[in-house]
Amino acid sequence: MNIRPFLLVAIVMVTSLAGCTSTYEFKPQTSESLVLRSLQTIKSIKNGEKFKNFKDMLSDAAGCAIFPALYKAGFFVGAEGGNGVIIARDKQGNWGYPAFYTLASASWGLQFGAQKAGVVLIIRNRGAIESILQNQGKFGADVSFAVGPVGTGVEGAITTNLAADIIAFSDVKGLFAGMSLEGAGIIRRNDLNLEYYGKEVTPDSILLEHAHQNVQADPLRTSLIIQ
């Protein structure tokens, strides 16, 4: 699957937002700061009154992807993008350590405004994790995708697509009345993985083999445990 042109459009659009508004700032992120912000995002959605069924779905999940700041800008052309982590359970059901990814997409339509959202994707089966690892696939193409309830100021409802491989929960702040990750490409970040683990590692060795650890992620792992 060749998604390089698709990704390029998203990067150009997201970068252009920094030059036209002071509301949303795009700053370089370290791997450790991204893990800390992912923890904040999980706590926000986990404790949010509007996110019903999130805990139940998380307790049964094979993995989850957390994007603390997914940016979307639209001036007749929309784009989405943001860095985040994916965490998967091991065979004993314990949460492993994070692999770093960028979520990027582009959409065309009559849109206007700007949006920032903290997004958690509940990955409901191992097959969806393997699809992401093997294909860096687009949601809606390699795996089935559904949107759960969204957050602040946006009307949302629990998805009726209970067979979906991935269900998204988002805490939305901004002007758009909704969000869509349909067709989004998820791209591995080898540079952030190298920074975080201090050596060259692969997403497979992190998410499937559970061969690497960094205690800095332990609070995030603990936050995913539903008691």
Q: Are strands 145-150 and 99-123 parallel, antiparallel or unpaired?
A: unpaired
Question: For position 181, what pLDDT does the model report?
Answer: 60
Q: What would the mean pLDDT of 149-168 be, rounded to a whole number?
A: 50
Q: Do 214 and 97 meet the contact criterion of CB atoms below 8 Å apart?
A: yes
Q: Identity (one letter) of the amino acid at 8?
A: L
Question: For position 52, what pLDDT does the model report?
Answer: 74
Number of domains in the chain: 1
Question: For position 136, what pLDDT does the model report?
Answer: 67
Terminal alpha carbon distance of the chain: 40
pTM listed for this prediction:
0.76
Least confident window among 72-76, 120-124, 166-170, 173-177? 173-177
Tokens 């582009």, located at residue: 106
Domain of 30 in residue numbering reads as 4-223
